[in-house]
Structure 1
């Protein structure tokens, strides 16, 4: 048996909320969970993901300092 005085309390049916709405129940050491991002609003799954860097680091450096990649 685990020692009762060293382990956190376990809540087997902790509710998970997103934007004040109940999403599901899960086991947790906290009585309730609030999440900011979940599967239906995650940018990867909603195709709203934007690519920030379209050039590579070397190309940006060369462009910034006006260098050609063929120069030594």
Structure 2
């Protein structure tokens, strides 16, 4: 088995949307870092029955329309 090819596996803190935290082990960041989640099982539509909606925070549709809104297909 080769040495020094595996990522560092250390303890981190995971913070859920509601502020709840727990300790786990991960390769994320460095030892003692905090991973803040935007979506977790308490707010994700798949686990809440689909009553909450995810918003397009980045404006991807608007950005697409801005770039390609004047594009026409076919012959003029």
Report the structure number with the largest CA radius of gyration: 1
TM score, norm. by length of structure 2:
0.45
Q: TM-score with structure 1 length normalisation? A: 0.47
